[in-house]
Structures are given as C-alpha cells and as structure tokens.
Amino acid sequence: MQSIQALTHPKSVAVIGASNDKTRIGGRPVHYLVEGGFGGPIYPINPSRDEVQGLKAYPSVEDVPDAVDCAIIATPTHAVLPAIESCARKGVRAVVIFSAGLAEMGAEGQRVQDEILAVARAHDMRILGPNCLGMFNTAANSYLTFSGTYEDVVGTSGRIGLVSQSGGYAGELVKQAKRIGLTFGSWITTGNEADVEAGEIIAAYAQDPNIDVILAYLESARNKDTLVAGLEAARLARKPVIVLKVGRSEQGALAAAAHTASLAGADAVYDAVFARYGAYRARSTEEMLDLAYACLQGVYPQGKRLVVLTASGGIGVQAADFAQDEGLDVAPLPEDVRAEIVKLVPNAGTHNPVDLTGALAHDPELYARGLELALGSGQFDMAYINIGVLAGMAYAAPRLLDSLTPVAARYPAVPKIVAVMASPEIVSAYEAGGYLSFGEPARALRALAGLYHFTQAWARPAPAPAAVAASMPVIPARKAFSEAEAKAFVAAAGVRVPEEHLVQDAAGALAAAAQIGGPVAIKVVSADLLHKSDVGGVALDVAIADAGQALDTMRAAVQGHAPNARIEGYLVTPMIRGGTECFVGAQQDPVFGTSVTFGLGGVAVELYRDVATRVAPIDRGEALELIDATRASALLKGYRGRPKADVAALADAIVHIVALAEANRDTVDTIEINPLLVFDEGKGVIALDAVIAPKADVAP
C-alpha cells in the first residue's frame, strides 16, 4: 500500500472545487497554501473559472499539464466519486476529502464510500477522510484544510503532532494549546477513515524528525493491527503517545452472558491495549496538554522517587497526597541530608515533603541549597518545588532564579517542576533554566507520573508475537455448554478441576458422596443456567447422609425458578476448603481479539469490581502484572499475616485460559472461571466452576 508521504509532504496540490472566495470551504485551502508559503505548484480546479485567487484554474484535474501529488476534494457529495475517478486517471497519489454525507449517513452513503475506496485501492491512491477537516504540516508549509486553525499555526514550528477522529475537537485543541504556549507542527483529522486510519498517522509521526510528542483523540479503532503497529512504532522510537479516548461509558457494547462481558467492556480493552503498547490515556484535555508540555522538555525520570520542597507544611501535605494518588514514592530523605538541612534551617521539616519554613522569605537561596542536597544524594528521580508568590517578589525573583538555574544544569536527567505565582516572563525564565512550571500541585504530580509512565513503557521488551498453542483442545461450535463440559475443556487446557460425579437422582448423589467420603458440594448441570446459585442450584458442605435429600430439594427449587431449563444432571464434588477465590475470564473483543480479565472471585467480582484487563498474547510475566494491577494482589501476597498464595500457579492458569481462548477464538466468545481457588504457596489452584459462551454467529 502506498505510504502517506504524499499527504504529509506533498510536492504539488490540486484543489477540486476551488473557490475564488477565500472564506468558502473550497477557497480557504487555496488561500492558506499561497499565504502559508507552500513550495510546490497549486492547481485550482473549477470548470467555471479561468483563474482562482490569482492562480490559473483548470476544468478538471486531468487537464493539469504536470503531475499532481495530492488533491483536495471540496465538492458536494454527489461529485466526490467522479472526482476520485478523475484523480485516478491522472495518477494522483493522495486525496483529502472534505465532503460529508457518506458512510456516516447510512447504508447508501456507505455504498458510495465503498466505491470511492475501491477506485482508490485499484490505483494505489491514499484517501484522508471523507468528512474531515483535512490536515496541516507546518514544516512543509502544507495547509490542506479549511479549518480556521490555520491562523493559529501559520509561521510556527511546533513539535507536537495531533491525529484526531473529530475535526471539531481538533480545532478546539489548537486554541486551548495556544493559550498555554503550545503549538502543533502537524495536525491531521481522519474523519470517516475510509482508508488512512489514526494508527497509520501515529506510525508516521514516530518516524517524523520534526515531531517529538504525539497526541491522539480517538473514538474507536477500525483496525487492531494498524493502531497497534502505530503505538508500537512510537514506543520503539521513544516518542510519547498521549491518547484521549472517549466512550468510557459505552453500555451494551459487549454481551452480558457472563461476568466478563459486563466487567471488561470494550473501554477496558482499550485501556489494556494502551498499557501494553506504551500509550498514556489522559482523562481530560487539560491532562493531555499538561503531559504534552512536560514531554516536550524531553526529560524522563529513571524511577518514581519524588522529593518535595515547600515553604508551607499544608502545601507539602497536599503534594504528598497527590503523589500517592499518582503512584509516586515520597520516600524519606537520607539521614545525612536531613542533618544538613537542619543546619540550614533548624526548625525545618526534614522528612519528605521538606518544609523550609518562612526562613525562605529572608533567604530565598534556601530552595536551591535544599534541592542540591536532595538531588545530590542520588536518592530521588524527580522534584517538585513549590515557590508560590515569592517567585514574583522583586527582591526575591532574581536570587531564586540565579540560585536554582545552576542546580537544574547539574541534574539534567531529573525532571523538576516549580510552582510559581509570577509573571509570564519569570515563568519563561524558569523554563529556559531547565524547570517545568505548573501552578497547581495535582496537575504537576500527574505530569510527573505521566513522564515515568513512558520511562517504564519504553524499557519493556516488545510484546511476543501471538501464537495459538497447538496443544489446546478444540471447542466445537455449539449453542451452549454445561458446567461439566466447560470444566472438561479447562482441564484439558492444563487447569486443575476437582473430582466430579455426574448423577441423575437422589440415590446417585448419595452413592457419589459415599465414594468421595466426606462433605460434598452439589450443583445442577444445565447449559441454560449460567448463574446456578440464583435459582437454588448450588448446595455446599452437604453431609454424606444428606446428599440425597439435598438433591431433591435442589431439583424442586430449580424447577420453581427456571421451569424451562434443560437439566442434564447434578454434579457431586468434594467440598474444598481454604484458598482465595479469584476470577479469570477471557473474551473476544470485536476489534482487539482475545482479552483477559482478573479479579477477586465469587460474588466479590461484581460487588467490588476490582478487576484488571490485558490483551493477548499473555506470558507469565504479563499475567503477574495483571494480578498486581488489582487490590487482590495484596491479599494473595500475604496481607496482614495471611499465608502467601500460589501466585505463580495462578499466573500459569491465566496463561492457559488465554491460550485456550486464543485457540478457539473463531467459535468461543467467553471462557470464565469463577471461582478459581488459589491455595497457599506451592499448593496450586483449582477451578471450581467454569462457563463457556459460544459466539452467537457460529453456533449451529
């Protein structure tokens, strides 16, 4: 497939539907290209005019005497397909389609858009859009857009690249960024993404020497491989990707046949993909721009140990709270550093945060001395210095800057944020001296955490290529599976299940309990009943002598609650005690394929919703990371004197369940184990219940 070079760095541009009116959609790109200093030929296409905005016009792109690298289509919808066909005959390499009214309008629009794409593909021509605001690249003086953002960026040379699936949002973002001094070097809106997708733009930015920070506004991903490839290209290039992905409240996106569907909706899978490939998911525009600003400095911490220096104990407490919220480590100062600070300020708070007290009003250089002591210890990876109003006072401002600037120069690999309430000129002086500047501690510490996110992401090895385990059993295409059948497949995949006896009546239950030789659990077996306890289909800790009566009671309860359920029998198993109940569910996401969700099991999985999600492929290391991403991790690792659980066996079970789901991804939607009982260290795990939900479109 042709690269997008003709879009990002066109040699010549034709504007189909060009207008002599510089304010109209067809007139703006002509005006922008001319005024913006585009270096190649510009060809207005307008059959009604000989000249457009002082340039020679042509009736058709095919009438242009020279080669056309890129064309803009700014015509009514009905004229788009003929224009594309004309571009194809001319050999145009790329097209930007402003026109709307295609796939976003329904089936007929989709049909026409498909025809447009077919023509483009047949002639190796790339399409941006349709239904987009176009793009600009300031390094190439290329403004292929009708957006008013041109006026905000022309003549600038920003190092941020934006790709956005919303043109309106992209325009607003330029305005908001400008208010805080940020500019974009490239800005691309993808519209309907008939051809060029956001992931491909991210990959292009990863290779663009003029772009240091990549921002992405996403509503969806049309193609897993394209997005993943783009994110991975940026990760390997050590370029930060900051994503604002909307749609956190997507309801009904996944079927609710099993717990996984309701817990690991599509949004959780997006989170897993971003985490896997190193992107940072911002929760707001403010957060995205804050982190972009921090990343532009190009200083990423080697760890998460934070030192905080303030003149106020209250601000220090706030900073410590926010740092904990963001997962940063506000570790105590080394004893020798504390002793040196006491020499400087006898009544200073010398733990961390460091309170240098009101003494700073008389001796502003104390900030620099304290920072030098902390960073010189080698025990801190980042610093937050809250200077406040002192930074703007005439007597203190130069002393602060003159003393702090050399400290920054001595520790260039440590990101340092100052909070100053001062003029823009003073803020700029701190930035020139190697500091970032934020007025509010929560935003500052979130940005530091974001910087550390990228340090970790770039250090991880590339994800292993997906491989379907040949040893996994084949699950046939069926409408439903009973618990016994589901457990058989789980066992064949390498996850232990308990001894089981399938019986049909009270006599069988009594005989099975006697053979087991102790208290038993009895469960109804029915592919129609995913949650058996809701209909009285589970009896626990049943004595041998009571097994027959327990089965009869269960039969009556199930008949009363679910009279139409098909009953295949009853499972009698040993009553297994001890261990920690966990939940493991693998599910097929329509975009990203196999994902896995983990959390505490039993009723806790829905009550607390403390779960984490990852995407395949999964190895033991990633399974352990998945476990650590939940609060259940503390419980499993021996919380408050509890015995440590067999976390290694749990991780292996997760790997096996993901492999089983991957091997059967064409026929099975969900594989769920709840509970998966995790015993003490060295004693393994056992699946007490299992559910397999087939894909609706393949079950006979």
Residue with the larger pLDDT of the pair 590 and 333:
333
Q: What percent of the chain has pLDDT over 70?
A: 95
**Residue 76 included in any domain:** yes
- Does residue 164 have a pLDDT over 50? yes
The 8-class DSSP code of residue 190 comes to -
| DSSP letters for 477-493 | --S---HHHHHHHHHHT
Q: What are phi and psi of 448, to 5 degrees?
A: -60, -40
User: Domain check: are 321 and 185 in the same one?
Assistant: no
For 430-442, what is the mean pLDDT? 95
Q: Is residue 180 predicted with pLDDT exceeding 90?
A: yes
Asked whether the beta carbons of 12 and 61 are under 8 A apart, the reply is no
The reply to whether 570 and 584 lie within a common domain is no
pLDDT at residue 699 in the model: 57
Is residue 463 scored above 70 in pLDDT?
no
Do 445 and 547 reside in the same domain of the chain?
A: no
Q: Are 418 and 383 in contact (CB under 8 A)?
A: no
The phi and psi torsions of 693 (rounded to 5 degrees) equal -110, 120
Average pLDDT over residues 451-477: 83
Is 640 within the bounds of a domain?
yes
> Residue 158 falls within a domain, yes or no?
yes
Backbone angles phi, psi at 195, to 5 degrees: -135, -80
What total of structural domains would you count in the chain?
4
- ∠ CA 154-160-165, nearest 5°, is 90
CA angle 578, 583, 585 (to 5 degrees): 150
Check residue 500 and give its pLDDT.
93
| Token pair belonging to 408 | 């920054």
- Which pLDDT belongs to residue 285? 98
Instruction: Output the pLDDT for position 567.
Output: 94
Residue 38, in any domain of the structure: yes
- Which domain, by its residues, includes 352? 299-459
Q: Annotate 258-292 with b (16+ C-beta within 10 A) or e (fewer).
A: bbbbbbbbbbbbbbbbbbbbbbbbbeebebbbbbb
Residue 133: Cβ within 10 Å count: 26
**Tens-digit pLDDT profile for residues 31-68:** 999 999 999 999 999 999 999 999 999 999 999 999 99
> How open is the CA angle 498-504-507, to the nearest 5 degrees?
95
Tell me, yes or no, whether 530 and 553 share the same domain: yes
Tell me the pLDDT of the chain averaged across its residues.
Answer: 93
Characterize 66-94 residue by residue with b for buried, 16 or more Cβ atoms within 10 angstroms of its Cβ, and e for exposed: eebbbbbbbbebeebbebbbbbbebebbb
Nearest CA-CA partner of 306 in 376, 388, 374, 391: 374
Q: Are residues 357 and 447 in the same domain?
A: yes
What's the mean pLDDT in 123-145? 97
Higher pLDDT, 406 or 259: 406
Residue 507 and residue 364 share a domain? no
Number of C-beta neighbours around residue 323 at 10 A: 26
Planar angle of CA 48, 51, 52, nearest 5 degrees: 90
Using CA of residue 136, residue 137, residue 143, residue 144, what is the dihedral sign? Answer: negative
Looking up tokens 């027959």 gives 548
Q: Does the pLDDT at position 172 exceed 70?
A: yes
Same domain, yes or no: 31 and 138: yes
Please give the distance of CA 442 from its chain centroid, rounded to a whole number: 21
503 occurs within a structural domain: yes
State yes or no: pLDDT of 256 exceeds 60. no
- The CA-atom distances, in angstroms, between 644 and each of 496, 630, 638, 639, 641 are 20, 16, 4, 8, 9
Q: What is the dihedral of CA 87, 93, 98, 100, to 10 degrees?
A: 70
- CB 128 within 8 Å of CB 190: yes
Q: Is residue 494 part of a domain?
A: no
467 domain residue, yes or no: no
Query: Does 209 share its domain with 317?
Result: no
Among the ranges given (82-86, 396-400, 460-464, 696-700), the one the predictor scored with the smallest mean pLDDT: 696-700
% of residues, the chain, pLDDT over 90: 85
DSSP for 387-402? EEGGGGSTTTHHHHHH
**Mean pLDDT, residues 465-492 taken together:** 84
- d(CA 31, CA 155) in angstroms, rounded, equals 15
Q: How far, in Å, CA of 523 to CA of 571, rounded?
A: 5
Nearest to 191 by CA among 70, 95, 108: 95
In tens, the pLDDT along 98-127 reads 999 998 888 999 999 999 999 999 999 999
Compute the half-sphere exposure of residue 450: CA atoms within 13 Å on the CB side of its CA. Answer: 28
Q: Dump pLDDT digits (tens) for 598-619.
A: 999 876 666 677 899 999 988 8
Q: How many CB atoms lie within 10 A of CB 491?
A: 16
Q: For the segment 188-200, what is each residue's pLDDT rounded down to a tens digit?
A: 999 999 999 999 9
Contact criterion met (CB below 8 Å) for 692 and 489: yes
Same domain, 329 and 373: yes
Q: Is the pLDDT of residue 682 over 50?
A: yes
The confidence score (pLDDT) of residue 107 equals 92
pLDDT for the residue numbered 249 = 67
Domain match, 69 and 185 both: yes
Per-residue model confidence (pLDDT) at position 604: 65
Closest CA relative to residue 57, chosen from 81, 37, 27, 85: 27
Backbone angles phi, psi at 569, to 5 degrees: 145, -160
CATH number, domain of 225, equals 3.40.50.720
pLDDT of 262: 36
The CATH code of the domain that includes 634 is 3.30.470.20
Residue 361 maps to which CATH number?
3.40.50.261
229 in a domain, yes or no?
Answer: yes
Q: State which of 207, 224, 246 marks the end of a domain.
A: 246
Final residue of a structural domain among 522, 552, 574:
574
Provide the pLDDT for residue 469. Answer: 64
Give the pLDDT of residue 254: 36
Least confident of 163-172, 503-512, 523-532: 523-532
Query: pLDDT tens across 341-378, in order?
Result: 999 999 999 999 999 998 999 999 999 999 999 999 99
pLDDT for position 313: 86
Domain finish residue from 459, 490, 525: 459
Nearest to 689 by CA among 587, 583, 553: 583
What distances in angstroms separate CA 505 from CA 501, 508, 517, 571, one per listed residue?
12, 5, 18, 11
Q: Which residue has the higher pLDDT, 406 or 621?
A: 406
CB 297 within 8 A of CB 476: no
Q: What is the DSSP string of 677-697?
A: EE-BTTS-EEES-EEEEE-TT
Judgement on whether residues 323 and 446 belong to the same structural domain of the protein: yes
Could you tell me if 532 and 417 lie in one domain?
no
The answer to whether the CB of 582 falls within 8 A of the CB of 678 is yes
